[in-house]
């Protein structure tokens, strides 16, 4: 079964500094990887995905993520964080067959300090 680990509970970063949110995954086949963001009392918003192809994926709101197969990682990055990026970030993985059931990480609270 697929699983995701997001090792940090909270990530604090000063506004304007680079933001990194870590994610490692475990899956038996080829992974499909996703990042979602959640604001309080809201559903999840899709940021980006990796299915195949270029390991560096660019997504919404200036975010990008790099797929690293040897390290089974898919870290989310943003070169310059904004206060409005403060939210809960979820990494998710599904296996490349079937209904594409998603397994989510526990989530990382990102706090951008003005």
Contact 75, 7 (CB under 8 A): no
**Cβ distance to other proteins smaller for residue 42 or 58:** 42
**Cβ distance to other proteins smaller for residue 17 or 30:** 30
Residues 86-105 that bind other proteins (CB under 8 A): 90, 94, 99-105
Determine if 106 is a binding residue for other proteins (CB under 8 A): yes
Question: Which one of residues 21, 74, 93, 107 is an interface residue with other proteins (CB under 8 A)?
Answer: 107
* Cα–Cα distance for residue pair 86/77, rounded to 1 Å: 14
Q: How many CA atoms lie within 13 A of 40 on its CB side?
A: 2
**Cβ distance to other proteins smaller for residue 22 or 104:** 104
* Cα–Cα distance for residue pair 110/88, rounded to 1 Å: 6
Binding map of other proteins across residues 45-64, x = CB under 8 A, - = no contact = xx--x-x-------------
Residues 13-52 that bind other proteins (CB under 8 A): 32, 34, 36, 41-46, 49, 51
């Amino acid at each position: 079964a697929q699983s995701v680990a997001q090792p940090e509970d909270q990530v604090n970063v000063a506004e304007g500094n680079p933001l990194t949110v870590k994610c490692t995954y475990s899956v038996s086949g080829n992974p499909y990887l996703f990042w979602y963001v959640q604001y309080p009392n809201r559903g999840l918003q899709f940021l980006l995905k990796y299915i195949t192809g270029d390991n560096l994926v660019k997504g919404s709101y200036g975010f990008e993520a790099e797929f690293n197969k040897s390290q089974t990682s898919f870290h989310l990055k943003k070169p310059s964080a904004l206060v409005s990026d403060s939210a809960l970030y979820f990494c998710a993985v599904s296996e490349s067959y079937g209904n594409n059931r998603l397994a989510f990480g526990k989530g990382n609270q990102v706090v951008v300090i003005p």
